[in-house]
Structure formats: C-alpha cells, structure tokens
C-alpha cells in the first residue's frame, strides 16, 4: 500500500490531482489541512466523489468525519497518547511516531503508524539530513501495527525502503514536487506491487 499525504497549505489545483490518484489506485489519501475552517474542509472534501471517501484520512477536523462519510482518522504525535479506541469504535485509526520506542508502545487498535525520517525530506528542507529512523528498525517489537516509512521516499528508493522492513510507505514531497504527480505515483505504485 502507498499512502499519499496532501500539501498542508491550501492549493485549489490539488483536489483534481487527488482525484486522478484515487482513480489510478491510490487507496489511502491523508488530508492535512490544519488551517482551514470547517466550511473550507467540507467544501474541499465535497469535491471528491463519495465512492472515494473510504480512501480519505482526516488529520484534523475529526468532528466532521461522520458528516463527510469518512471513517479514517489520523492523530499526530501530540494528540496520539490521549486517544483510546473506545472513543472511535467506528473508525480506522493511524498516528505519527518519531522513534521506534513510541511505535513499540502503540496499542493494537492503531491500524498503522507513520514514522519519519527515513531519508532526507523532499518537502521540508533540512529535515532528516543528520538522522534517520532506519537504524532503529532492528528494535521493532510491535507486529500488530503496520509501520509506514515517511520522508524522502521516492521512485528511486521505494524498493530499498520496503526491503528495510517497512510494511508500506508514505509519499509527500515526491508527489507534490513532481511536474507530473500522477506519473510519479504510478511509477511508485508499480514498484510496490512487486513487494506484495
């Protein structure tokens, strides 16, 4: 599985690209729009046909999920520790971690966790230049939650990333810095299909 994470800032062209990705096999699109109002989020999500809502994951505005027909929620590392499955019985939950010890302590109600940085970031200059979570992978104990590698993952290193022991990958900069996000996604997806 490949996860694509949206841009954080609003871009009116982005929903068109989201739809292209979803129509071409993207199963998991994280919507990261912390600064938008409720009405802006509702308008943005309503540009996506209802048939694709099961692929959308909200990073914020969780209270709108039911109204929008979204059953996947993501929690950043600041909110993660205050979450229990009992409050979200009808949702698939994911979260962010930055160290394998955090990942190992996650309860089985989490479906997957994004861990970063794997490689130097393509979207956040300087992030991941001097450190990587890769050496920590040997200490992975939690097999109940899927581990998703994030940061610097692209078509050239996606095979290597999966061979390191990540269950799947998340793309952000490789998609949004690309002149052709759809072709970049398709190339990455072809490579991941070899690992199924």
> In the prediction, which pLDDT does 128 show?
62
Q: What is the model's pLDDT at position 83?
A: 78
pLDDT in tens, the chain (196 residues): 899 999 999 999 999 999 999 999 999 999 999 999 999 999 999 999 999 999 999 999 999 999 999 999 999 888 887 777 777 888 999 999 999 999 999 999 999 999 999 998 777 776 666 789 999 999 999 999 999 999 999 999 999 999 999 999 999 999 999 999 999 999 999 988 876 5
pTM for the model: 0.94
How far is 168 from 149, CA to CA, in rounded Å? 6
For the chain, list the domains and their CATH numbers.
2-193 (3.20.20.70)
36-40 long-range contacts (CB < 8 A, ≥24 apart) are: 36/10, 36/61, 38/64, 40/10
Q: Is 77 exposed, middle or buried (0-12, 13-18, 19+ CB in 10 A)?
A: middle
């Amino acid at each position: 599985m490949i996860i694509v994470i949206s841009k954080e800032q609003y871009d009116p062209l982005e929903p068109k690209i989201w739809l292209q990705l979803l129509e071409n096999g993207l199963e998991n699109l994280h919507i990261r729009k912390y600064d938008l109002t409720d009405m802006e989020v509702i308008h943005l999500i309503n540009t996506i046909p209802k048939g694709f809502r099961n692929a959308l994951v909200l990073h914020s505005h969780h209270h709108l999920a039911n109204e929008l027909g979204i059953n996947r929620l993501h929690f950043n590392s600041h909110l993660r520790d205050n979450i229990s499955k009992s409050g979200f019985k009808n949702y698939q939950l994911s979260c962010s971690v930055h160290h394998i010890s955090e990942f190992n302590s996650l309860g089985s109600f989490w479906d997957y966790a994004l861990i970063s940085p794997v490689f130097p970031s393509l979207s956040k200059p300087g992030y991941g230049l001097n450190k990587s979570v890769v050496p920590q992978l040997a200490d992975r104990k939690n097999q109940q939650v899927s581990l998703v590698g994030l940061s610097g993952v692209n078509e050239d290193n996606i095979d290597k990333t999966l061979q390191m022991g990540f269950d799947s990958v998340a793309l952000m900069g490789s998609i949004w810095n690309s002149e052709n996000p759809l072709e970049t996604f398709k190339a990455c997806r072809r490579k991941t299909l070899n690992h199924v």
